[in-house]
Structure 1
Amino acid sequence: MKYEKWTVAPPDPAALAALEEAGISPLLAAVLSARGVRVPQEARALLEGGETALEDPLALKDMAQAAGRVRLALERGETIAVYGDYDVDGITATCLLTDFLRRKGGAVIPYIPDRLEEGYGLNREAVTALKEQGASLIVTVDCGITALEETAWARSLGIDVVITDHHECKSGLPAAQAVVDPRRSDCPSACKGLAGVGVALKLAMAINGPEGDGDVLAEYCDLAAVGTVADVMPMTGENRTIVRLGLEELSHPRRLGLALLIREAGLEEKAITATSIGYTLAPRINASGRMGRAQMAVELLLTRDRERGEQLAQELCALNRERQTIEGEIFRQCVDRLDRAPQKGAVLLADPEWHQGVVGIVASRLTERYGCPAFMICLDHGMGKGSCRSWGGVNLFERLAECSDLLEGFGGHALAAGFTVREENIPLLSRRLREGLERALGAGASPAALEADAEVEARELTVEAVADLDRLEPCGTGNPRPVLVLRGALIQSMSQVGRGRHLKLRLESKGTPLDAIFFSADGAELGLAPGGRVDVAFYPQINEFRGTRSVQLQVADLHPAPTRAQAERAVYEKYRRGEGLTPAEARLLMPSRAEFVGLWRYLQRRCAGLGRVEDTASRIARGASRATGQREAAERVLLCLEVLAERGLIDLETGPQGVAVSLRQVERKVDLEASPILGRLRQAIRGGSAEA
């Protein structure tokens, strides 16, 4: 169980009715209304509206100088080095700018540092090597914002440097010909959330000039989309435009390398979404950088040789499988260590045997398993290189900045960052990070709650309804994938799949069977077993197998479900406290006409001799059950008694020991359906809130 708390957005009946009347399916309408989209015009703007026009690239600080220097290099016939990062964002940015400049007639050297040998960003040895190859201009993409010394070194060798990056800036900037980074405090551009590949795209547009902006975007939106999604950038504004156009292009890819990778990854016959980029394409490209072979991915994305491209696509997929094996072993080691010595507030682990290229992914898995930020450190001769991942909105860059006196260097984003630390400083770093996290979150605060869009019934999860949610694409930060909640599902069967890494479940809810997959989860460790019931928070998706489409739940989290009696008791107590009920809770509490009839007959028999019934609600419920032949819940019996008292049919006294009921002599016919109590429950079932 990853989250202690789930927060489900309350339904908005008026918005639901308006959206459904406009032709939007009920499930999509529920998600939209939960996110504040309440009128059809807003919904159409999100689902069908035109793309946001891209801001003038020259709005980015220093972009005019950057574009001018690159144009000069093209005119002079200089050799230009495009220097990128080894992750997906950096690789796609490197390929985008390299291909663009080559089409402009430029002599271009694409360069990605070896993650294992050189580490992140500019380094002196690489700069020197590029000088020996004739480069007189280095353009960085997705890196360089902290490379003060390396930029100075390049200038001492007679090499000009243009920095394009999107990472957080520190107090000083490199003394480069231009420094383009939307996160600069003095950058007037509104596009603060661009990926590194997005900044590279803007540079290409600036070099090309305003008359050719659309051509550049159309040619490179595929690469820009892959890098933007992989780097988990906000899926709003310009990023949404870039990714939406890129997804359309990837559905019929013209770029040979991407087409071959899509086929090798098994996506050729499937719709390409932001999710399939994030879970299928990006890991394969990323594997090359993580395993120290980033140049392989660069060659694939730039190749025009089909035979060579097929070979590279196969090798990338094989490399990804190797990465998964290494990652799985490190993850198991971490779990064993944390089982023996649990850590509170954050996970921080170090080891000299770990593969530096995969610890970032392991950190991500640890955050999900333990519900807190994770810091993983690879040790080598007294020095540690760390990767960290956030949880619950913790800003990692700020936390590392607070510990900068203990670090040799650090950089990155709020959600993912890297750092270098001396081994002897790790214990103090661990303590200081936890203190910073406690201050940021508040003492004893839970760092994260799962935010869900709506509770649903299994019967609502049809293939058509779930497929309609794809209209929300592209999804990501700022426009997340829909998260739904299904209560009280029965586990029919379960098994470990994917070499034991993932949990596959067969669920049943009110007669509807559903398949579910819980990535990086172990059923035995979670205490699950067939026959048990669970509440499931999930991403709804369509699974296609041998031409058949079916609904699958990708589990985000699950909790053991209370028994029906426990659930009814909790809902009744919530009702008595005057709190609003969800539609599912109101349905659970709503008594049927048969229950009223059975209870009334039971009370008539009991009161016939004594004139008064004094008993517990549970025993009254059992007596009423014998009258109807159906199970009567004590909480619904209490609610029935309240309705009967409200309508003047009985006198009701309640106390800690039970209830006392006396029948009234009523001459007129009483309409129970006019009960305000039942009216409030009906309103809640329709999507309002029932309050006592």
Structure 2
Amino acid sequence: MAEALSVSPLTASLLASRGIDSAEAAANFLNGNLDALHDPYLLLGMEKAVPRIQQAIDHGEHILIYGDYDADGVSSTSLMIYFMRHMGASYDIYIPHRSNEGYGLHNHALDWAHQQGVSLVITVDTGISAVEQIAYANALGIDVIVTDHHEPPEVLPEAYALINPKQPGCPYPFKGLAGVGVAYKLAQAVLKQPPVEWTEIVAIGTIADLMPLTGENRILVSRGLESMRRTSFPGIRALMEVSGIAPGAVTSTNVAFGMAPRINASGRLDHAGSAVALLTTEDAEEAQRLSHALDELNKERQQVVETIVQEALLQLQAKMKDNNVPDVIVLAGEGWNVGVVGIVASKILERYYRPVIILGIDPETGMCKGSARSIPGLDIYEALTSCKDLMDHYGGHPSAAGMSLNREQLEAFEQALNLYAGQVLTEADFVPVMPTDGEWTLSDIPLSVVDEIEMLEPFGMANPMPKLIFRGTQLAEIRKIGKDGKHLKLVVRQGGTRIEAVAFGRGDLAELLEEGMTLDILGEVSINEWNGSRKPQLMLQDLNIPGPQVFDFRDSKQPWADMQRVYNAVSAHLRLDYRHIAAVFNPRLESSPKLELNDCTLWVYDKNAGISAFNDAANIYGTDHVTTLFMIHAPDSADQLDTLLASFKNLSNLFLLHSGRSKAERITIPDREQFKLLYVLLMRMAAEPIREQEALVRLSKQSSSTLRMVTMMMDVFEELSFIQRRDGYITIIPKPPKRELSSSMHFSALGSLAEMEQHLLYASTSQCTSWMISRLEGVS
């Protein structure tokens, strides 16, 4: 592939991983144009729909475009407005209010349409589930043409025509169209070649609705973005401006994160009609006014979301038994704005990696309207189908859905979903997995290769921004950047290649990283352009420190408070719960911990066993689950340290919070000369038995050794029968047996203890952590 296309092995690999296995397929992928679009008449229902629309236009019938309030629905409605204008049709639009009416076709809207003289309704991005409503429209004498892309239910409505590539029996080769994509195909069927600029509207809706950017979607979005860079639509130009997007640099990413949220904000907090008005206005001043209004709504939306997220998390904490998170999280609250519950669900899913349903309750009617977001292991549409009798309405995709039900059904609804999930999900489904594009080296991504990778744009669903793994890089520089140090900037090197890596919102990790450490990193490659200079950079997605890691927080004034602080900072990144955390302390120095993390396992040093359990959690869960250990106090001996480290077999993070000893208590690794000097001094002053305390003080002064060191050396002399201790006195044994110092257990223990304390209490951070890591690796 690389040879055939004259590209780098990395670029060829990215193409191959996307199912492009030949030069011809690569050419179609990279250079597809509107001529390559499928025949719209392959869509089941199109042959019936087109003549009916042409008839309505020719006879001046009044047509109603019935849309939806999300960005795809807004785009679909806007596209149909351009289509109606182009055809000179008599038309009206109707988009239900998210909070007051909810999703889908409504009978009262059909009554209104009937009063307005509407004889044809064309739905966009909705209608495939509206069995009863379309039957009602038929009774009113209104024909309904449904254009939709949602999953069809078992029973389809008896519409005049149904156009949905997912409906049974539809031969259309591409099933991934957005609602606006289906609307575009309808316009294409009538006009043969719709105006190119309409693809801008298609691009917005397709990207916003998270449709796969492959096949026809890739062609439509690519062409739409290209057109958008020199757009003639006042509304799109104003929307890009208020989103901070330079017209010439518009990409799928800034459409997704800049333009789409502002379009969605109208339907979430107000009415989607203002977003439709923005996308379809021909007046620049009105476009400016509407775009700024949407921007303000989006800021308000962000505040509303944060408030509901906090309330939902409190509700979840109260609901969790023994800190166990339900397989499916179902949370409902009075007054929660149903326009933002989907965003709230996404944020809670991100935190707990569980399927999440968030519902707003109307306190007067008791009706609950909600949104679901799911993980790959659970098709949420199928899960909802399993308990459809409990809901008034539902619909959606495998990963996202909406529903409405009465609050009296909430408990049964939650139980039914968790029962279904319990039969479908496995433990492995709860482990978040990020697909990557393989392992590479920093030398594989020079500027020329990054430019090649940009040929794969637009990136999005099914064609994600490439994520590359680089193992064994060395951390050369680290610093916080941005307001309040919110973001993280690293410089990593590998061989002779250095590259900057930026992690947005991860500034809190700075204190957990040290220059010189080895990192495995996962990142997206981009180009940093500054003052005319262009160079590759990585947008950091994740990082891993291979092997155990030791963090130096020694001499902490408030070790328990620091433990809580560190836990709060890293638990989300390391996915810790109470089973994974342990703290060890000395019961002689502290009788009980001052700790809010009461559910973590607590251990104490034990002279005989090394360590022993202190609380119920330690007795229940033991040591096997523990990955993160906080050392509140230093151990009393090297053997105790080794027993401690050997007990926690899966330890990967060790936080040192213990205090150092004063210089007056310092011991050193002993040698023969020290013992010889001490013995000579003792012989001089102890011709007769001498009080031990007096002897120790005098020996300490004369030998320049600490009192603690001298005391422990006396233990060696006693073990080797050089002295005798009795009733507080020391007596020299005149003719002691000849024994090597190395034969003394006290001598070995003193040496090991001195080495341990030298590293644990007095050494620099790098010396201390390196020594501890070697001990950890030695016992693993």
Q: TM (normalized to structure 1)?
A: 0.72
Q: Summarize the Cα distance change of 1:313–1:108 in structure 2 as closer, same or farther, 3 Å threshold.
A: same
* CA RMSD, 1 decimal: 3.1
> Retained in 1: the 8 A contact 2:377–2:425?
no
> Retained in 1: the 8 A contact 2:197–2:227?
no
Aligned AA for 1:289?
Answer: G
Q: Separation in 1 of the partners of 2:483 and 2:129?
A: 40
SS of the residue 2:244 aligns to: coil
> Retained in 1: the 8 A contact 2:492–2:500?
yes
Which of 339, 350, 355 is the matching residue for 2:332?
Answer: 350
* Structure-1 residue corresponding to 2:767: none
Q: Does 1:239 align with 2:217?
A: yes
Q: Separation in 2 of the partners of 1:198 and 1:387?
A: 23
Q: Does 1:359 align with 2:337?
A: no
Q: Does 1:429 align with 2:407?
A: no
Q: Separation in 2 of the partners of 1:421 and 1:496?
A: 47
% identical aligned pairs: 37
Q: Does 1:228 align with 2:228?
A: no
Shift of 1:463: 4.4
Aligned AA for 2:464?
Answer: P
* Structure-1 residue corresponding to 2:169: 186
Q: Does 1:54 align with 2:32?
A: no
Q: Separation in 1 of the partners of 2:52 and 2:270?
A: 31
Q: Separation in 1 of the partners of 2:411 and 2:532?
A: 55
Shift of 1:49: 5.1
Q: Does 1:469 align with 2:447?
A: no
Shift of 1:435: 3.0
Aligned AA for 1:523?
Answer: D
Q: Separation in 2 of the partners of 1:533 and 1:324?
A: 38
> Retained in 2: the 8 A contact 1:494–1:523?
no
* Structure-2 residue corresponding to 1:514: 500
Q: Does 1:99 align with 2:82?
A: yes
Aligned AA for 1:287?
Answer: A
* Structure-2 residue corresponding to 1:457: 441
Shift of 1:348: 2.1
Aligned AA for 2:260?
Answer: A
SS of the residue 1:259 aligns to: helix
* Structure-1 residue corresponding to 2:508: 523
Instruction: Please show how residues 544-555 of structure 1 align to structure 2 within 5 Å.
Output: 551-555=536-540
More off after superposition, 147-156 vs 35-44: 35-44
Q: Separation in 2 of the partners of 1:346 and 1:312?
A: 39
Q: Separation in 2 of the partners of 1:141 and 1:522?
A: 44
Q: Summarize the Cα distance change of 1:557–1:126 in structure 2 as closer, same or farther, 3 Å threshold.
A: farther
Q: Select the structure with the greater relative contact order (CA < 8 A; seq sep ≥ 6).
A: 1
> Retained in 2: the 8 A contact 1:504–1:516?
yes
Deviation readout 1:123-153 (Å, 9 max, x if unpaired): 1222222333332221110001111222223
> Retained in 1: the 8 A contact 2:341–2:371?
yes
Q: Does 1:418 align with 2:402?
A: yes
* Structure-1 residue corresponding to 2:282: 304
Unmatched segments (≥5 aa) in structure 2: 551-769, 771-777
Aligned AA for 2:384?
Answer: L
Shift of 1:199: 0.9
Instruction: Please show how residues 586-625 of structure 1 align to structure 2 within 5 Å.
Output: none
Shift of 1:100: 0.8
Aligned AA for 1:536?
Answer: I
Q: TM (normalized to structure 2)?
A: 0.64
Instruction: Please show how residues 586-665 of structure 1 align to structure 2 within 5 Å.
Output: none
Aligned AA for 1:222?
Answer: E
SS of the residue 2:249 aligns to: coil
SS of the residue 1:523 aligns to: helix
Shift of 1:41: 4.8
Q: Separation in 1 of the partners of 2:12 and 2:398?
A: 32
Q: Summarize the Cα distance change of 1:444–1:478 in structure 2 as closer, same or farther, 3 Å threshold.
A: closer
> Retained in 2: the 8 A contact 1:393–1:448?
no
Which of 224, 242, 251 is the matching residue for 1:264?
Answer: 242
Q: Summarize the Cα distance change of 1:226–1:106 in structure 2 as closer, same or farther, 3 Å threshold.
A: same
Q: Separation in 1 of the partners of 2:512 and 2:332?
A: 32
Q: Does 1:562 align with 2:540?
A: no
Shift of 1:394: 2.8
Aligned AA for 2:156?
Answer: L
Q: Summarize the Cα distance change of 1:357–1:545 in structure 2 as closer, same or farther, 3 Å threshold.
A: farther
Shift of 1:116: 1.3
> Retained in 2: the 8 A contact 1:95–1:110?
no
Q: Separation in 1 of the partners of 2:73 and 2:112?
A: 20
Which of 115, 124, 127 is the matching residue for 1:144?
Answer: 127
Shift of 1:370: 2.2
Q: Summarize the Cα distance change of 1:187–1:269 in structure 2 as closer, same or farther, 3 Å threshold.
A: closer
SS of the residue 1:218 aligns to: coil
Shift of 1:371: 2.2
* Structure-1 residue corresponding to 2:95: 112
Instruction: Please show how residues 533-548 of structure 1 align to structure 2 within 5 Å.
Output: 535-543=520-528
> Retained in 2: the 8 A contact 1:538–1:556?
yes
> Retained in 1: the 8 A contact 2:354–2:430?
no
Aligned AA for 1:228?
Answer: T
Q: Separation in 1 of the partners of 2:221 and 2:45?
A: 25
Aligned AA for 1:517?
Answer: A
> Retained in 2: the 8 A contact 1:491–1:505?
no
Instruction: Please show how residues 123-202 of structure 1 align to structure 2 within 5 Å.
Output: 123-202=106-185
Q: Separation in 2 of the partners of 1:85 and 1:96?
A: 13
> Retained in 2: the 8 A contact 1:31–1:454?
no
Shift of 1:71: 1.2
Q: Separation in 2 of the partners of 1:274 and 1:386?
A: 28
Q: Separation in 1 of the partners of 2:542 and 2:428?
A: 22
Q: Separation in 2 of the partners of 1:507 and 1:430?
A: 47
Aligned AA for 1:140?
Answer: T
> Retained in 1: the 8 A contact 2:230–2:247?
no
Shift of 1:69: 1.6
Shift of 1:26: 4.6
Unmatched segments (≥5 aa) in structure 1: 1-17, 566-632, 634-655, 658-692
Q: Summarize the Cα distance change of 1:292–1:496 in structure 2 as closer, same or farther, 3 Å threshold.
A: farther
SS of the residue 2:469 aligns to: strand
* Structure-2 residue corresponding to 1:380: 362
Shift of 1:375: 1.3
Shift of 1:476: 2.5
* Structure-2 residue corresponding to 1:603: none
Deviation readout 1:238-257 (Å, 9 max, x if unpaired): 11221121121112112221
SS of the residue 1:279 aligns to: helix
SS of the residue 1:115 aligns to: coil
SS of the residue 1:452 aligns to: coil
Shift of 1:39: 5.3
More off after superposition, 274-283 vs 147-156: 147-156
Q: Separation in 2 of the partners of 1:154 and 1:358?
A: 31
> Retained in 2: the 8 A contact 1:84–1:141?
yes
More off after superposition, 532-541 vs 284-293: 532-541
> Retained in 2: the 8 A contact 1:327–1:362?
yes
* Structure-2 residue corresponding to 1:252: 230
* Structure-2 residue corresponding to 1:66: 49
> Retained in 2: the 8 A contact 1:517–1:552?
no
How many residues align? The count is 544
* Structure-1 residue corresponding to 2:625: none
SS of the residue 2:392 aligns to: strand
Shift of 1:445: 4.3
Aligned AA for 2:211?
Answer: M
Q: Summarize the Cα distance change of 1:291–1:545 in structure 2 as closer, same or farther, 3 Å threshold.
A: farther
Q: Does 1:81 align with 2:64?
A: yes
